[in-house]
Structure 1
Amino acid sequence: MKKSKLSIGIIAIALVSFTVTSCKDNKQDEKSAKEDHSEMNHDNTDGHHDGNKKEMAMGGEGNSQTILNDYFNLKDALVSDDNAKAKDLGATLATSLENLDVSSNFSDTQKADLKDIIEDAVEHAEHISESDIAHQREHFKILSKDVTDMVAITGTEDTLYEQFCPMYDGGSAWLSMSKDVKNPYYGSKMLKCGKVQKEIN
């Protein structure tokens, strides 16, 4: 496990060196980013509706797909710099996490791991439900790791993209259903800062 964490750390450092230039360029291109902002928000809204359709299609509480849908809606609220909406969605996600059914289809080890992951994720989702946006983003970083760890056990019915921003808090990752980078840690300040570092099927 320690070797794995060390490898991840080395990969993260390498990614920082490759992507930091593009993020700095993004600061210089902030005007053009603002010009495209309305279009990006429109795209973001479409993603939100797609998430709702998928949630209805998957159906039911207590499954990992519901958690993912709530997570993506929360991410979109942070992308849009919407503190109030993120508070509501943090509470929704906490409830979905608590309802995850880990009673079947998992080994004893996986059940124990999932319980630990969910317990931690619920705590961060609850903090998001009662915090200012800067603090929400701090908790979203750890929440994203928890959700990624959950997906490693539960799997996913959709292709997901793990994206990485080298600028926020020494480097931070999040999950997306789109290859297009929309940064939840900076929102409109540096919307495009980051890159896809992994595809999860």
Structure 2
Amino acid sequence: MKRIPRNLFFIAFSAGIISFTSCKENKESATDATQEDVKMTQDDNAKTIVQNAKFNDEKVASEYAAYLQLKDALVATDANAAKKAAKKMTGFENAEIAELATKISEETAIEAQRKVFSELTVLIEPVLENAIASGEIYKQFCPMAFDGKGASWFAASEEINNPYFGDKMLHCGRVEKTIQ
């Protein structure tokens, strides 16, 4: 009978070690993936490409790239990087989006930045939908954000990297919609 508790302890301990190691590896690969979200190039038709999406409007493509940088800064729980990325969006043609970007760029608390980011995401959706020429943008959703109210964000890939919880719940969420 004494062997059963010892075996259970060993199994539980082993599972904990494996789980800890797996989470560490996932965190590192997620950071690498989000850093690659913001690659920009131009093709022969002067359409700007951000990851897998092409935009007719170069300004919107630039704003989307800044949005992705902001999202990635929030995923990394880096308030200073979020401030810098948000500053790139303060010249947005939509005054409401520019105002929210300004709020984020002036805010020092990461949780407050995340709250304003959720509002900014709501406003940027129709801009992205109307400017995409080809490719895909992924609208993702975390049902646990903001005390269970939930919040969305946009990403260049289907992989979930949650800007509302960062490394606390990095992969919490789902792809809610694909914009093409």
State TM-score, norm by structure 1.
0.67
Is structure 2 residue 83 aligned with structure 1 residue 87?
Answer: yes
Q: Which has the higher helix share?
A: 1
Show the 5 A alignment for 1:117-136: 118-131=94-107, 132-136=109-113
Q: Which whole-Å CA distance do the structure 2 matches of 1:147 and 1:84 have between them?
A: 22
1 or 2, which has the higher strand percentage?
2
With the length of structure 2 as denominator, give the TM-score of the two structures: 0.74
Equivalent residue, structure 2, for 1:179:
158
1:96-119 CA deviation, whole Å, 9 max, x = no partner? Answer: x13xxxxxxxxxxxxxxxxxxx12
The alignment covers a number of residue pairs equal to: 150
AA of the residue aligned to 2:24: K
Q: Secondary structure at the match of 2:41?
A: helix
Shift of residue 68 of structure 1?
0.9
Q: Per-residue deviation at 1:179?
A: 0.4
Q: Check the 8 A contact 1:30/1:190 in 2, yes or no.
A: no
- Aligned counterparts of 1:47 and 1:62: Cα–Cα separation in 2: 17
The 5 A counterparts of 1:141-160 are: 141-160=118-137
Q: How much does 1:47 deviate?
A: 2.1
Listed as ranges, the gaps of 5+ residues in structure 2 are 1-17, 50-56
Partner SS state of residue 137, structure 1: helix
What per-residue deviation string (whole Å, max 9, x for no partner) do you get for residues 46-86 of structure 1? 223x2x33699729x96211111111111111111111011
**Structural mapping, 1:9-48, within 5 Å:** 31=20, 32-48=22-38
3-state SS of 1:138 partner: helix
Q: Distance in 2 between matches of 1:38 and 1:76?
A: 13
Alignment match of 1:137 (pick from 89, 101, 114): 114
Aligned-residue Cα RMSD (Å) equals: 2.4
Structure 1 residue 154 displacement after superposition: 2.8
The aligned residue for residue 76 of structure 1 is 72
> Relative to 1, partners in 2 of residues 1:70 and 1:54: Cα closer, same or farther, differing over 3 Å?
farther
Match of residue 194 from structure 1: 173
2:104 maps to amino acid: I
- Matching residue's letter, 1:122: A
- Please tell me the residue identity of whatever aligns with 1:197: E
Shift in Å, 1:125 = 0.5
Q: Deviations over 1:124-169 (max 9, x none)?
A: 1001101121110000001011111212333344310110000002
